[in-house]
Structure 1
Amino acid sequence: MSAHFERTCSVISNGVVPVNKYKSTRTGLQVFIAQVEGPLVNGFFCLATEAHDDDGLPHTLEHLIFLGSEQYPFKGVLDMLANRCLAQGTNAWTDTDHTCYTVMTAGSQGFLNLLPIYLDHVLYPTLTEAGYVTEVHHVNGEGENAGVVYCEMQGRENSGESLSHLAMLRAMYPGRCGYKSETGGIMSNLRTSTSNTKVRQYHKDFYRPDNLCLIITGQVTPEEVFQALEPFEERIIAKGDLPPYVRPWQGPVPPLTESVVQTVPYPSDDEANGMVYMAWRAPKAKDLYTMAAVQVLMEYLTDTSVAPLQRDFVELEDPYCSKVRYSVIEASESCVYVKFDNVPKAKLSEIKDRLCSTLDGISSGKEPVDMERMASVLHRRILECLNHMEERPHDTFAFMGIGDFLYCDTKEELEQRLNQVENYKKQVKEPDSFWKKLLTDFFITAKSVTILGEPSQKLAESMPEEEKQRVAKQREDLGEAGLKEKTDALLKATEENETEPPENMISSLPVPGTDSIHFHPINRRSNLPSNQGDGELDGMNLQKIPFTFQLDDIHTNFVLFSVLLDTSSVPGNLKQYLPLFIEIIFESPLMRDGVLISYEDVVTQLAADTLSTESSLGFKGARFRCGKFSQLALIEVKVEVEKYFKGVQWLQELLYQTQFVADRLKIVANKMTNDVARLKRDGRTVAVAAVREMNYVKESNFHVASMIRQQKFLSSVVEKLDQDPEGVIKEMNGLRDLLTSPNNLRIHMAADMKKLKEAGDAQLPWQQHFVGKNVKADSKCDKLGKFASQLLCPVAPSAPMGTIVGVGSVESAFLIQTVPCISSFTDPDLPAIMVYMECLCALEGPMWKQIRGLGLAYHYRMYCRPEEGLLYFQLFKCTHVVNAYKQALDIVEGYLSGKTTFDPVQLETAISSVLYEVIEREETVASTSQESLLSYFRGTDQNYNRDLLSQITKVTVDDLMRIGDKYMRPLFDTGKSRCSVCCQPSKVDEIKEAFKTFGRELTVMASLDEGFQ
């Protein structure tokens, strides 16, 4: 260990992961290392940052850090080098109280190679004026405002959520206080106040080694890290002493002396539903025990449909909102708030009094604290702590380390932060008086802030017009000479930024091998005919289970059951009910041994017996949005090993004993319908819905689950429940019977079989609850019905190939373009397609430079989905969607024509980055098992990713030339590809006309309701 780094703390976090913290005696630099298992090493480089205005200096500086450094004075060289370290570039985020720079590499060698280069950018950036012009803000030759940061903020500044949240913080932290600042930057400030001079001073004030903490998670030793840091620390010391420094966030936070109620209008085409935020001051970040208790209390109040706030606001025939959730903002003076989504406009003003009435009823004892449920909430929190260390260990330790760095001073505080489980175990013993006092002190008697987010069609119309007038005046004020000056300045800045680094600067950093990377071990079995092995593992004979059963033996403390129901054979009249079925499956009464268990008891018992329950159409789907392999209805239940038998029983009851009843169906259908208003305000969601509408036939789940179509259908279901409830219930039961028949059912289980064997007979619960009880036929689901790739609409003269829709709440534009592509995961072209897309889309690649780098769009992406049979191109948060698209088209055509060529270093770097992308799929134990599950549907074996790595390394320039002509050319061929655009209504005609120059006819969707018939 380096003599210059002193260990300040050593802890085994929650009894699982070793964590050590060090501090340099020479520079004050802090290093926090968590020995997380798995193939990835992550770096989170955190600085405490504080701002007292809306200039967005923390955020603008975050962007400019990546544009070159003292030793590497070239824009983008950091990401080019990162891509050679088995990474996919670098990233960063700006929060109110800190800025954090990140990198994730496969294996440790690339991480250690990149570490000093990254730190050179963080502490010694170039911060050039040219970089500021393109990356932050400029006025272009048309007199319009642009820049990457400007583009990003334009995409969210005037959304209902952003306006309401900022208003809440402004009121919560009165007086001079950094917690009320918009650290991302407000557009008017970015135009008039923010400057590179201010950014440089901000860097000088906050970016110092004694205000920097390196949080490192993964399989890397402290000695290796210190060795990599040694030359860099020598450079820090050689630069001499720094001026005195006051740690951020040490000043007093002005108290909240009065309660505030404020109405915040926001632009929206639909004025039916708004939102409400209600907030209070929370415990100080240092008071970890009380902070944990407040979060537990909020879980008690909001989690599951039987929680008091869900009961009183959501689970009603005439609901006050569609969703209630809470959040905590950790700070020296923290904040806790409750958000109510999709509140009917007429009820916005009723939320505060109704909420206070519910809370007062509990604190006064009128409604007793359900201590049994409180114990269940605490038990689940304990399990969640342990589960986070399996499912997302890197982020979990990063946020622990950041909280400690910002707000803690002692070793004891860090130990407590790393062992939150101990707090929850103590809180299990707290009496009901503790919880009532907590409620009284922080909510009932405390001052509050209530923000009523009110949708306004008038604003949706006036804001674009005002912006149009502002730009017109700006153009007029500049005049021809001024506009030319702006054009020249931007051109000069772009040319300066595009100075390429010497090739040997990039190629001199070697690409690490993948042989030494540690993957998570897994042992698979199934009772499918193609099973590798004998179908028996640690006492479980899968051949005796009369339906398709897949088993993963992995190192985990939990058991995950995934029920996969093939919906392909469901007729159209029943298929419409799929989203409702998925939503209500965990929230209905059920029959147990001839006794009807109420839905409230089902929800309560499920919460007590499980760690988590999830349901969706396709993998990782969401409400009205299908995930991968959309023909599957997915139901997941996760339990601790001790509840394994109970978990199997729950599966059987949920699948076969659920009782659909009219009142629950109506409440859940209303809740889903009310959520559509929120989704219709989101440009990305609308663009995705529109392109899927063009791509897929009516029998596909994409078509069925569309939010607009479901809004209409669910409204009709609510009406039908009033007139013919038995008819709806009969159809729901018919749907369930079809889905759960043996030829549509398969179950996948991920568990540590050694631990299960120690807990009892792992085979027994399946024999007790499934064999002969409901599953009598030995007809296995060994083949799937039609994949999405088989349900694509053929190109037809009458069908539009492009559509554009205006949404009043959207300021920037969103574009998605698709074309039919490969439909097999073993297609020999897939590796080359992946490398080709990376060559184009890599950080500091051609699209990054010409689209994001010029401030035309904040986000762009290309990806291939074999299960959907589609190749995608996306542009999101565009300030200039036409120019962004033209740049993308020019880049692709350049490669297709041979005018632009792939060079060997570019290819080698892209291959390295794609290798990381594949390795990342098995980042954790949970994701490794997910990959195993997906492989059954991909038609691949468990070594698929390893084989893919080998194939990727063999991709050549000749392969790329062939792939470009075969797949990329059709993607931009307007006769073969389909395109959807969502934008501001005032820009629809302008964009439609401009796209004609690309040969693309965009059909205007008069309204969302009319567009989805």
Structure 2
Amino acid sequence: MVSFFGPKRDDSQLCHAIVCLLRYLAGSSASVLENVLVEKEQLATAVICDYESRPTMFVSFNLTGVSTEKLEHVEARFLEILSGMAAKPIDLDYMRDCIKAERRQAKFLAEESPAKFFSEPVVNDFLFGNRDGTTLEARIGNLRDYDALEAWNASDWSYRLRSWFVEAPHVTMFGRPSAKIAKTFKREEEARVSSRKKELGEAGLQKLENKLTAAKAENEVEIPKEVLERFEVPGTRSIRFITTITARSGAARAMGLLENPIQELVDKDNDLPLFIHFEHTQSNFANLTVVLGTEVVPIALRPLLSIYMENFFSSPMRQDGTIVDFEKVIMGLERETVGYEIDAGQRIGNSEVITIKLQVEVEKYQSAILWIKNLMFSSIFDLERIKATTTRMLADVPEEKRNGSNMSSAVELMVGTAPSSLGRACNTLTSAVYLKRVRRILERDPETILEQLKQINAALCQPSNLRVLVIANIQKLYHPVSSWQTLIEGLDTTMPLNPLDTRLSRLSNSGANPGGMAYIVPMPSIDSSFLLVVSQGPSSFKDPVIPALMVATAYLNAVEGPLWTATRGTGLAYGTNIYQHVDSGQISLSIYRSPDATKAFIASKQVVHDVVCGKAVMDKFALEGAISSIVLNFANAEDTMSSAAQSSFIRQVIRDLPRNWPEIVLELVRKVTAEEIRKVMGEVILPLFEAMKSNLFVTCAPVMEKKTVMGFGELGFKSEVKPLAFFQDDYGLKMGAGVDGEEAGDDTDRDDEDVEDDESEDPEGGYDEHEDEDSETSE
């Protein structure tokens, strides 16, 4: 990470200027630093820039995924590029595009994320601004600064680039993973603990224990009830949610006819054989989301979806017989949109679908649809772009595999879901081996991968596989329905709409029927433990147990609540939470960063058991607080017009619920009794702690391995110790394999975490661009 100390922040125009300059430098794959260091020279996987408003502006550039042996070279190259840019005229046209994009972004954030947009400048103004409010008004009161910045010439920008970065003092921090240190950590930690015990002696240990006990007692002193009784809890009916108006067109009409002014407006336009769901809001922007089902993609090819999504917005494009470079495609997107992204569908309540999103000003509605069409049907699967993406994604794998919390979830996905699951197919533990083989095939038989990507695109981008969500002021849209003719023109629209698979339908046998499975995964990169336990839960939001379960989990998870007090309050874990996953019909317990996962697990179990058997009395104020937190979560999920509109789509289209479901369920939540909470804890939550009814996954430091295995063994869990490599899956892809999956040569994959004598710098089997041979991990 390279950090610069920039100009004083007392000039709002300079604050906006530095933001625009950062977009110019590293805002996208078309920006200079990203384009050179990531796309062309492939020295890093990303260049992430950020700034902080202090009396002196603080700017940092974080270069990720850099090969350890190239750290100093990459730093020098980074500074060299900055110096070279400052020594010649800046690209003024692109700079002005960046300024216009920042202006659009500011308008969009003021509407979409008002809390963040306004609160941060207010706090900074309180800390550093003039007392008369002039600096605050200049910062957020108008957009005139952007007009002034557009008038700057190339010399103005080159001067700022030179003075703020090239000539400014900077600090560089290098992060080097070390397998050697990871190996010595275990014995050093054991020696440290032994030495400390000897130093303290029995008397010293007893003194510390007494001190800890006293601190716990002080921490657990209850707030006087008369203080809590002063605060009246409002009824759920007093909560006023943001309302939107739904309209449906095409295949969406099968969900039911609607009668409202917006539906009448939509009905006046020419209908199309395409599923379009409209949510009307008062907005200056249009949010377009296209939902793609993944059931149409052959299971063996689903790991390629990670490459497909990574390249979707950054591929060359064929237009009017000519090829447009990917840089120009990205610049065009930035010029005409506020934002764009492609991802799995967690945010819309179904992680097994893919979503394509564009945000534009309302007058760019038709342009956004044209962009979607061109991205789907005119993009070119360019060999060099695919190679660069594969290399970049592989370079990110080691860092991902060093995260203990993420890896406990990744292992659970590999075990608990079937190969058909998108989450499993695009999992780090799949990518770790699959992408290596893709990289080899791209060198030896590239047409195989390119044809498979074309096959994926052809399957995904059919009208029968598309659901469209439009969030906008529909009254401002020109031809809200018929404008989509651009997308489906020339395509087969006679096929019925494909159903959407859910995570529930893509569970493995062990995921659908948890019990009797426990894995302990030692990780040299962490110094604590992370636990994830999964058991069965309700699989429908219409299940009558849902209201009581919502209250029960909210009660247990409350800050300073039962689980907090039993684990965090006693130093057994940094965080402990119970989650319900209705989309997969599961419930889980997560223990985050624990010095002893077994003790934290036992303490959590005791909390639930005491409530179920009546030993622990549920405080009425705590229950009121739990209900209030549920209400708050609903409100936070719909705190803006677009989020409220998206929630309406999720309820109606993804979950088949009435649009007023929050009001319905909150009424039921308010009526939940203490006895219903005990019952649902006993029937749904307590099985989490039973070995034959749950699956257990723990990632931990190697020094904790034996203790963790023994501890959970005493609780009935027959734990298996496995390295991360054990859970990797190649989805049948072999070296030289074609579409038919035939093996054409020996292919193996090597993971350094399983090589005891390996002295490489990466304790998790990092990416090595010079690696010529893979070797299969044997168990």
TM over 0.5: yes
Question: CA 1:542 to 1:842, structure 2 compared with 1: closer, same or farther past 3 Å?
Answer: farther
Matched, 1:836 2:521: no
Residue equivalent to 2:45: 322
Question: Structure 2 CA distance, aligned partners of 1:489 and 1:448?
Answer: 45
Q: 1:812–1:983: 8 Å Cα contact kept in structure 2? A: yes
Q: 2:509 aligns with which of 788, 794, 797?
A: 794
Find the partner of 2:150 among 396, 408, 428.
428
1:891 and 1:435 mapped to 2: Cα distance?
61
Measured after TM superposition, the shift of residue 593 of structure 1 is 3.3
The ranges of structure 1 where at least 4 consecutive aligned residues each deviate by more than 6 angstroms after the TM superposition are 796-800
Distance in 1, Cα, partners of 2:170 & 2:632? 47
Question: Which residue is 2:187 aligned to?
Answer: 465
Is 2:27 the counterpart of 1:303?
yes
Contact 2:712 2:718 in 1 (8 A): yes
What amino acid is aligned across from residue 791 of structure 1 in structure 2? Answer: R
CA distance in 1, matches of 2:231, 2:170: 55
For structure 2, the residue ranges without an aligned partner over 5 or more in a row are 730-779
Query: Which whole-Å CA distance do the structure 2 matches of 1:532 and 1:900 have between them?
Result: 51
Q: Secondary structure at the match of 1:981?
A: strand
CA contact (8 A) 1:560 1:749 kept: yes
Aligned letter for 1:570? V
Match of 2:742 in 1: none
Does the 8 Å contact 2:344/2:351 carry over to 1? Answer: yes
In structure 2, relative to structure 1, the CA distance for the partners of 1:525 and 1:778 (3 Å cut) is: farther
Q: Answer whether contact 1:548 1:782 (CA < 8 A) is retained.
A: no
Q: Which residue of 1 aligns with 2:448?
A: 727
Whole-Å separation in 2 of the counterparts to 1:703 and 1:881 = 25
Match of 2:525 in 1: 809
- Deviations 1:103-144 (CA, angstroms, capped at 9, x unpaired): xxxxxxxxxxxxxxxxxxxxxxxxxxxxxxxxxxxxxxxxxx
Match of 2:487 in 1: 770
Q: 2:314 aligns with which of 573, 577, 587?
A: 587
Tell me the alpha carbon deviations over residues 749-778 of structure 1, each in whole angstroms, 9 at most, x when there is no partner: 10111222xxx33344223x124333x323
1:325-474 matches, within 5 Å, as 325-365=48-88, 368-409=89-130, 410-419=132-141, 421-474=143-196
Secondary structure of the structure 2 residue equivalent to 1:453: coil
Name the structure 1 match of 2:383.
662
Of 875, 896, 908, the residue aligned with 2:612 is 896
Partner of 2:741: none
- Given that residues 540 and 762 in structure 1 are in contact (C-alpha distance below 8 angstroms), is that contact kept between their aligned partners in structure 2? no
For residue 631 of structure 1, what is the aligned residue in structure 2?
352
Q: Which moves more between the two structures, 498-507 or 740-749? A: 498-507
Residue 285 (str. 1) matches residue 9 (str. 2)? yes
Percent identity over the alignment is 27
- Choose which of 668, 674, 680 in structure 2 pairs with 1:963: 680
Tell me by how many angstroms 1:628 deviates. 4.1
Distance (whole Å) between structure 2 residues aligned to residue 325 and residue 869 of structure 1: 37
Residues 765/835 of structure 1: CA separation in 2 closer, same or farther (3 Å cut): same
Query: Are the counterparts in 1 of residues 302 and 426 from structure 2 also a CA contact under 8 Å?
Result: no
Residue pair 1:546, 1:780 contacting (<8 A) in 2 also: no
Which amino acid in 2 is paired with 1:510?
A: E
Deviations 1:477-518 (A, max 9, x none): 221122122222222332233232333332342101343433
1:711 aligned partner, one-letter code: A
CA distance in 1, matches of 2:318, 2:12: 43
Give the Cα separation in 1 of the matches to 2:718 and 2:598.
13
- Given candidates 478, 482, 493, the residue that maps to 2:215 is 493
Q: Does the 8 A contact of 2:516 with 2:693 survive in 1?
A: no
Within the alignment, does 1:572 sit opposite 2:572 as a pair? no
Displacement of 1:357 after TM fit? 2.3
Which residue identity lines up with residue 144 of structure 2 in the other structure?
E
Is 863-872 or 280-289 further displaced after alignment?
280-289
Per-residue CA deviations over 1:903-959 (Å, capped at 9, x if unaligned) read 444333322222222222211112112202211111112111121211111111121
* Aligned match of 1:127: none
Q: Counterparts of 1:862 and 1:532 in 2: how far apart (Å)? A: 39
Distance 1:466 1:432 in 2: 57
For the 8 Å contact 1:915–1:952, the answer to whether it is kept is no
Distance of 1:985 and 1:687 partners within structure 2: 15
- Aligned-partner Cα distance in 1 for 2:240–2:681: 34
Please tell me whether the aligned partners of residues 514 and 694 of structure 2 are also in contact (alpha carbons under 8 angstroms): no
1:376 Cα deviation from its structure 2 partner: 1.6
The range that moved more, 932-941 or 536-545, is 536-545
Task: Quickly say closer, same or farther: Cα 1:912–1:444, change in 2 above 3 A.
Answer: closer
The Cα of 1:387 is off from its aligned counterpart by: 1.8
How far 1:808 sits from its partner (Å)? Answer: 2.0
Q: Could you say what the CA RMSD is over the residues aligned between the two structures, in angstroms?
A: 2.1
Structure 1 residue 780 displacement after superposition: 4.5
1:877 partnered with 2:600? no
Q: Give the whole-Å Cα distance in 2 for the aligned partners of 1:920 and 1:719.
A: 46
After TM superposition, give the deviation of residue 798 of structure 1 in Å.
Answer: 12
Match of 2:470 among 714, 735, 749: 749
Q: Secondary structure at the match of 1:874?
A: strand
From the superposition, tell whether residues 346 and 799 of structure 1 become closer, same or farther in structure 2 (CA, over 3 Å): farther
Measure, in 1, the Cα distance between the counterparts of 2:257 and 2:560.
Answer: 43
TM-score, normalised to structure 2's length?
A: 0.89
Matches of 2:536 and 2:270 in 1, distance apart? 39
Normalising by structure 1, we get a TM-score of 0.69
Give 3-state SS (helix, strand or coil) of 1:343's partner: coil
Q: Give, in angstroms, the shift of residue 592 of structure 1.
A: 2.3
In the TM superposition, what is the alpha-carbon distance from 1:688 to its structure 2 partner?
Answer: 0.8
Q: Does 1:974 align with 2:691?
A: yes
Q: What is the distance in 1 between the residues matched to 2:186 and 2:484?
A: 61
> Aligned with 2:589: secondary structure?
strand
Q: Does 1:611 align with 2:354?
A: no
State the match for 1:182 in structure 2: none
Unpaired runs of at least 5, structure 1: 1-276, 621-626
- For residue 750 of structure 2, what is the aligned residue in structure 1? none
> What is the CA–CA distance in structure 1 between the aligned matches of 2:514 and 2:255, rounded to whole Å?
44
User: Do 1:548 and 1:780's aligned partners in 2 also have CA atoms closer than 8 Å?
Assistant: no
State whether residues 26 and 48 of structure 2, in contact with CA within 8 Å, keep that contact through their aligned partners in structure 1: yes
- The answer to whether the 8 A contact 2:515-2:694 is kept is no
CA distance 1:415–1:831, change in 2 (3 Å): same
Deviations 1:616-671 (A, max 9, x none): 11234xxxxxx841220111111111211110100111122211111111111111
Letter in 2 for 1:356: L
In structure 1, C-alpha distance between the alignment counterparts of 2:516 and 2:674, rounded to whole Å: 36
The 8 Å contact of residues 918 and 949 in structure 1, kept in 2 or not, is answered as no
* Secondary structure at 2:356 match in 1: strand
Which whole-Å deviations, capped at 9, do the CAs of 1:976-1011 have from their partners, x for residues lacking one? 211211111221121111111221222111x32233
2 CA distance for matches of 1:871 and 1:303? 39
Select between 509-518 and 630-639 the one with higher mean Cα deviation. 509-518
CA distance 1:311–1:540, change in 2 (3 Å): farther
Q: 1:462 to 1:839 in 2, by over 3 A?
A: same
User: Is the partner of 2:174 in helix, strand or coil?
Assistant: strand
Please say which of residues 896-905 and 599-608 is displaced more in the overlay: 896-905
- TM-fit CA distance, 1:279: 2.0
**Counterpart among 667, 673, 696 of residue 394 in structure 2:** 673
* C-alpha distance 485-713 of structure 1, shift in aligned 2 (>3 A): same
Q: 1:369 is aligned with what amino acid?
A: I
**Which amino acid is 1:960 matched to?**
I
Cα deviation for residue 564 of structure 1 reads: 0.4
